[in-house]
Each structure stands twice: as structure tokens, then as C-alpha cells.
Amino acid sequence: MKVPVSICWLRRDLRLHDNTALNKALSGPYPVICLFIFDRDILDKLPSPYDRRVTFTWKALNVLNDALTRKGSSLLVLHGTPLQAFQELSQRFDIRSAFVNHDYEPYAIERDHKVEKFIGSTGAGFYSFKDQVIFEKDEILKPDVRPYTVYTPYLNAWLRKYYLQSASPVSMVGSENFFQIKPCPLPSPRSIGFEITDSPDPVPSIDEFVIKNYKANRDLPSKEGTSRLSVHLRFGTVSVRELVRIASQISETWLKELVWREFFMMLLYHFPMVVNHSFRKKYDNINWRNNEKEFECWCRGETGYPLVDAGMRQLNATGWMHNRVRMVTASFLVKHLLIDWRWGEAYFAEKLIDYDLAVNNGNWQWVAGSGADAAPYFRIFNPLTQQQKFDPDFDYIKKWIPGFKPGYITPIVDHDFARQRALTELKRVVGG
């Protein structure tokens, strides 16, 4: 006779504490199995076996498994498509309910619909909850009940609502409701076709000194002036409720960055076409040059513009890039080289360990001028003045371009020429 259980399917919420779906599952009448699925529909799209995100996930799962082992349970890790995984589980257990936290990306929504349909066909319940954001979907709308497409009024509405109904952490109930199973080692990345590579510590470190001084230091790439928590937000090894609470107390500037994240997630949910198309439809009519050799120079960090090249080399070497430099490198690709923002977005998606579809897409479209509340088309970052302002002593540049000297590479395009070329084309399409 199969044992009746509840499943808590972990995805972008790789933690036991302050986890809404897990708390709801543990509050129910059935013992809870914590499940993670290495999803082949996602893994098969990764171009390299040396993917830092797979290694980070594996490390985070080991942390979870250790915590569950101390409670007499274990993390169940399966490999395949989610539908196949639940079909297999239904042969082993009497699944009475499945609990998840919402995911707002188009693939995730489709994936969850398939699993919910199967779970429902067995007579079990499928329950999904808000967890990775403070406000979601239709919770922040304009007075005319349409979604915001400009950040500042969205921010103001978000802040008003947050301070009226502050989101408290979700406290976990007792461990007695975990399914008691013999602890077992997790499958290694190699067993699913990947190699272990360098990645950040999966246990987040919240440095309140850095957050408190975020406004003063965030634009200086040579300093450790950013929180480095983006990867933890992406995989849910930290609770957004905890971070927003800290930000609301010590750094309004950092809090506004967390709200940008939710703004982009809201836009993706309401306007899923932005995955492949410009939010501002006119921008799909740009005559991109899309020079492949110049794109390869940009990817390698060999454009002859030091701040751009240092940023791309940092990305290639570490899977992360400083936020100010992300804007400069993105602007250079789109405006100086007139290469489609989707090319750059795809490259960042391949390399960034903190890759988040909504945030990556939103930021690229912001830089390109094609997004909601985007930078105007005539805003073109000058990578030379950006370097003079934010890395005046070349400290960041020298770190990522060993032996750097002025003129180390002949620039692939002249700034003034490129700027005028971009302005002419962009004005033709959107500014005429």
C-alpha cells in the first residue's frame, strides 16, 4: 500500500526558512517530501557542461539536504521533465497534494499547468503561492486597473502598499511533518551531464554595512559596493521578505533596486511578448547591422574600450558583472555597434550566474530604449567618460585586463561616429 504524502516542489526557493509553499505543506495533514527536479527542458538548452548555475544549484541542494537530514528526512532529487517526475512519483507514493511557489516566466507557467493537470487527474490538489516577490500579478495596478508601464508611479504605489501591509517572514512549523526517509547522497552534476565548476557560496551573506553604503558605492566597480545577493534572489536561497525588510530600514536606494526587480517581473507576466519582441513595437523596425565579427569582439572583451572590455572579461571569467558596467557594455553593443539587443541578452543569459529572464530582458530593453519606461533613444553612454567617472584610476580595468596600457587594442569603432550613426537610425525609426 502506497504511503499518502504531500510534495513540496522546490524551484526558485531553495531554502527551508521563510518559504511559503513549504510552510503551507507542513501545516497540512500528510508528511511532506521536499522535491527538486533537474529539469531536462531547461538543462538541454544550456550550451556548456561547465555551467555555474548547475553547480550553484547542486551546492544549494546539498545545504538543503543536510538541513533535512538533521530533521530525519532527505531531499528527493529527480532528473527528467517535471511531468515525467510526477508520473514516476505517483507510482511510488499516494500523492494527496503538491505545493509550489509561483513562477512568472512563460515556460514556468506552461510547465506548472501541465503538472497541475496531471496532479488533478489523480484526485490530488495542486497549490501555488506567492513567495519570490512582495507584490505580484495584479496586486499593483493603476487606478484604471491596468498594469503600470512606468517605474516611478509603480514604485510609489508599491511603497504605499508595502508600508500599509508589511510582508512578515513566514515562520516554519515543527519538523514533525517531514516525511521520515533514510538520508541519501544527491546525484552529482556529472550524472546529469555537467561538470562541477566555480560558483558562489550557496549560503547567503547579508552585509548590512555594504547595503547601508550602497548609494555611495554602487557605481564604483573597483569596490565591493554591491550586495552580491542577486544570485541568491534568483535561486531563492534568501527570502525577498527578509531583504526588503532590511532595505526599508537602512537603504532606500537599495530598496528601489529590489522594486525594479518586481517591476520587471510584473511586466513579463502582463506582457510575455517582450521575451522575443520590443515592448515598444517601433523598435522592431530598426535596421540592425548585426556584424558577427564585431559581436565576437564584444563577447571576448576586445573592443578597444577599456571599461567595456573589462566588464566582458569579468563576465566570462566569473559569471557576474558589476551593474554599472552591465549598462555600459549593453549600451555599447546596441548603440555603438547597432547590434540587436536580443543578441546581447542571449549572451548574458548564457553567462550570468544570476540570470533572471524578467530582469535581464527588462534591463536590456531599458538600455536599448525599446522597453517600458526605457532610457530615451538619444541616451548613449560614452564608455570613455563612464570610465573617467567611475574607474578614474583604472583599478577595475587593470584587474580584468592584465598589463593594461592605453591603446592596448585599436577601438573597433570611433565613439562620435558610432553615436551619430545610432542617432540617425534610431531617430528614423522612433524619433521622427
Spatial distance between the Cα atoms of 421 and 108, rounded to a whole number of angstroms: 40
Spatial distance between the Cα atoms of 262 and 249, rounded to a whole number of angstroms: 19
Residues carrying CATH 3.40.50.620, the chain = 1-131
**Given 136, 288, 316, 350, the catalytic residue:** 288
**Given 9, 254, 260, 343, the catalytic residue:** 260
Residues carrying CATH 1.25.40.80, the chain = 133-170+205-270
**Given 257, 291, 316, 350, the catalytic residue:** 257
Given a cut of 90, is residue 156 above it in pLDDT? Answer: yes
Confidence of residue 175 (pLDDT cuts 50, 70, 90): low
Nearest Cα to Cα of residue 240 among 322, 324, 136: 136
Q: How confident is the model over 61-84, as a mean pLDDT?
A: 94
Q: Please say if 360 is a catalytic residue.
A: no
Q: How confident is the model over 230-245, as a mean pLDDT?
A: 97
**Given 177, 213, 291, 323, the catalytic residue:** 323
What CATH class has 1-131? alpha beta
Spatial distance between the Cα atoms of 191 and 189, rounded to a whole number of angstroms: 5
On whether the CB atoms of residues 282 and 429 are closer than 8 A, the answer is: yes
Q: Where are the beta strands (DSSP E) in 54-138?
A: 76-80, 94-101, 125-129
Element (H, E) at 69: helix 52-69
Q: Please say if 58 is a catalytic residue.
A: no
Query: Which pLDDT score is estimated for 1?
Result: 80
pTM comes to 0.95
Given a cut of 60, is residue 315 above it in pLDDT? Answer: yes
Give the three cell numbers for residue 404. Answer: 593594461
Q: How confident is the model over 134-145, as a mean pLDDT?
A: 96
Q: Please say if 364 is a catalytic residue.
A: yes
| C-beta pairs of 254-257 under 8 Å, 24+ apart in sequence | 254/211, 254/214, 254/215, 254/227, 256/155
Residues carrying CATH 1.10.579.10, the chain = 273-431
Element (H, E) at 9: strand 4-10
CB atoms within 10 A of CB 186: 16
**Given 58, 341, 343, 400, the catalytic residue:** 341
Q: Please say if 257 is a catalytic residue.
A: yes
Spatial distance between the Cα atoms of 240 and 243, rounded to a whole number of angstroms: 5
* CATH 3.40.50.720 correct for 133-170+205-270: no
Query: Which pLDDT score is estimated for 385?
Result: 98
Q: Please say if 224 is a catalytic residue.
A: no
CATH topology of domain 273-431: DNA Cyclobutane Dipyrimidine Photolyase, subunit A; domain 3 (1.10.579)
**Given 364, 366, 382, 425, the catalytic residue:** 364
Q: What is the pLDDT of residues 253-289, one digit of tens each?
A: 999 999 999 999 999 999 999 999 999 999 999 999 9
Q: What is the pLDDT of residues 183-201, one digit of tens each?
A: 777 889 999 999 999 999 9
Q: Please say if 341 is a catalytic residue.
A: yes
